[in-house]
Amino acid sequence: MCVPFVPARGSKQDIFSFPDIYRAYLSCRKNKRSTINALKFEIEAEENILRLEKELKSKSYHPSRSILFTTQKPKLREIFAADFRDRVVHHLLIQQLENIWEPIFIHDSYACRIGKGTHKAALRLQTFLRRITNNSRTRAYFLQLDIKDFFTSIDKELLFTIIQRKVRNPDILWLTRVVLFWDCTKSYILRGSNAAIKHISANKSLFGKENKRGLPIGNLTSQVFANIYLNELDQFVKHTLRCRYYLRYVDDFVLLSQNRDELVYWQGAIDRFVQERLSIALHPVRRKLLPVSNGIDFLGYVIRHNYILVRRRVVNNLKAQIKAFKQTKVKDWKKFQDTVASYIGHLKWANSFKLRSKLLKGLVSL
């Protein structure tokens, strides 16, 4: 989750000032305060911030070891989690980059932008459906695409070149290069099973890429870097292809048109653009070109012009969580309540009153 902080006055020139680092620290700890590394940093926060300030100003800063682990859902992933101290630096860098890119980004790119989460993206897509179909009185089609192995395929040198076009501050460029080209595969602590890491396919891992491609999933900077990288695609779709109804969430994007042939042409143009200009590729299988009357499966919802349903997989996952909790002898009520609250929050954005009522009745008996 992206949490903004307000930079101190005058920090535009001196981005490594104590007040700015302190504000980055406050922003960072909002969601990480209970972690061990965050608590260690907080015990001597002033000294740690002063040390960071000195290292950044002298250009002697370099990231610490990451924590490497895997997640199983929604699929097996390799996660490199930065140390809390480095997360503070990430927040500091992100604020500077966002100040430059937010005015440039198109309105309808979502993820890791303030006020532009999954729910806003789903509602915006529904608005597009209502407009293009004239509330279902006009036939229309959708093209849904995503990038193959996106985060592990990003070309670092190309990304840095894109950033260089807009950034003039040498301190921002220096810190961007330090963070972007830090090879987390050379300095990490493994948490969990080494066997799980070995089951991750080579194209979905950062290992073996010689630090030329890939951003670590788990770093906040990776999400911002991803938006900067795919902003090139956004600008192409909006200004060259002139697609009026286009929406992107990370690397999953949807285009709408009343003309099916237009979408076929756009798909070919996008396919060529991402290969030639961004050195990435569209996923060969996850491509859909269908009437919007079929509903659009997007961000955990099935979206139509007049209602939104929750994906069956999301509901099944919640039911599996409830079943597993019932069978657990030593119950962690707090963790379970947080999990259920998260799912119910997701369901509330859809037309799911009856479903939520049924699920909540089942929870009462626990």
pLDDT tens track for 318-350: 988 888 888 887 788 888 888 889 999 999 999
Other Cβ atoms less than 10 A from the Cβ of 291: the count is: 12
pLDDT by residue (tens digit) across 234-246? 999 999 999 999 9
> Which residue is it, tokens 């179909």?
133
- 113-132 burial, b at 16+ Cβ within 10 Å, e below that, comes to beebbbbebbebbbebbeeb
Q: What are phi and psi of 301, to 5 degrees?
A: -130, 160
Query: What are the structure tokens assigned to 134, written together?
Result: 């004239």
> Average pLDDT in the 215-243 region?
96
pTM value? 0.89
Q: What's the length of the chain?
A: 366
Cα separation, 276 vs 272, whole angstroms = 6
pLDDT at residue 117 tops 90: yes
pLDDT at residue 8 tops 60: no
Query: What are the structure tokens assigned to 320, written together?
Result: 């599996």
Q: In the prediction, which pLDDT does 13 show?
A: 62
Q: What are phi and psi of 39, to 5 degrees?
A: -65, -40
Torsional class of 211: left (φ above 0), alpha (ψ -120 to 50), beta (otherwise): left
Sign of the alpha-carbon torsion through 341, 343, 346, 351:
negative
Cα separation, 292 vs 281, whole angstroms = 25
> Average pLDDT in the 359-363 region?
78
Q: In the prediction, which pLDDT does 7 show?
A: 44
